[in-house]
Structure 1
């Protein structure tokens, strides 16, 4: 089994994921940064979705970690996050043996402290952003803790 953890830094195209013919699982880390404006950087999901578009058909488990999600509305933000790209790439035709897609979310401390915040809104936001994965029963939304 070939496992690979990827930090979205550097040139992902040079990883050559297609050549890892026994790749079964992959973890993709996405970090939200306060010092970047949405127009200053490409959408955060593009590199991860691009990597998955090169992954072999043997892939069965995908974990996407959203670190320090600033707002629930960010989940459907097509300029900043563009989470929908994962829904376009992780298809039955591309990955017929896919077992699960875990979306692990670590909330920004200000969002978590907000009295209006409700975890169920996060789950619904993810399901709306990734309707095909949700409909196929592959999507699991997991709340991460900053303290393990």
Structure 2
């Protein structure tokens, strides 16, 4: 069974967002798709594609300084610790790109996280852990009061 690959990983540059000077809101989707484990059991693990946030951060690098709202959606989060995973997800890239100098009109960054079914059903799963993990991954946005989880 082939592994699903996000087409934005290689093609985000073709969006040419710099040609949209009036763009004031953007939605970025990040998909943490599951793939079969190496032993072909029914278990799954997160797709082993490094730096899933890089296309979104790259799009923001191209975007107009007129942005007022940024929406980032993380789909199928397998573990809370994935939020700080610099190899797989690398949310920290957004903290580098989203600065007051780059987006002076920005009001909010909304981060919407959807845990996968396995994480959601774990007895020790707590939404608060997700919020804390997000704040650790994006400390600058959090300290500026811009981040809404």
The TM-score normalised by the length of structure 1 is 0.86
Q: Name the residue aligned to 2:116.
A: 108
| 1:129 lines up with 2:104 in the alignment | no
Q: Distance in 2 between matches of 1:78 and 1:10?
A: 19
2:35–2:46: 8 Å Cα contact kept in structure 1?
Answer: no
Give the gaps of 5 or more residues in structure 2: 1-6, 37-44
Q: Name the residue aligned to 1:54.
A: 62
Q: Name the residue aligned to 1:20.
A: 20
Seen in structure 2, the aligned counterparts of structure 1 residues 120 and 39 have a Cα distance that, compared at 3 Å, is closer
Q: Distance in 2 between matches of 1:93 and 1:44?
A: 25
Q: Distance in 2 between matches of 1:41 and 1:102?
A: 24
Q: Distance in 1 between matches of 2:9 and 2:135?
A: 27
Deviation at 1:39, TM superposition (A): 8.6
1:91 to 99, 102, 105: 99
1:8–1:30: 8 Å Cα contact kept in structure 2?
Answer: no
User: Tell me, what secondary structure is at the counterpart of 1:117?
Assistant: coil
Deviation at 1:121, TM superposition (A): 0.5
Seen in structure 2, the aligned counterparts of structure 1 residues 128 and 57 have a Cα distance that, compared at 3 Å, is same
Give the gaps of 5 or more residues in structure 1: 1-6, 142-148
Q: Name the residue aligned to 1:30.
A: 30
Q: Pairwise CA RMSD of aligned residues? A: 1.8
Q: Distance in 1 between matches of 2:48 and 2:147?
A: 30
Deviation at 1:87, TM superposition (A): 0.3
Instruction: Indicate the structure with greater strand content.
Output: 1
Number of residue-to-residue matches in the alignment: 135
2:24–2:68: 8 Å Cα contact kept in structure 1?
Answer: yes
The TM-score normalised by the length of structure 2 is 0.85
Q: Distance in 2 between matches of 1:64 and 1:21?
A: 20
User: Tell me, what secondary structure is at the counterpart of 2:27?
Assistant: strand
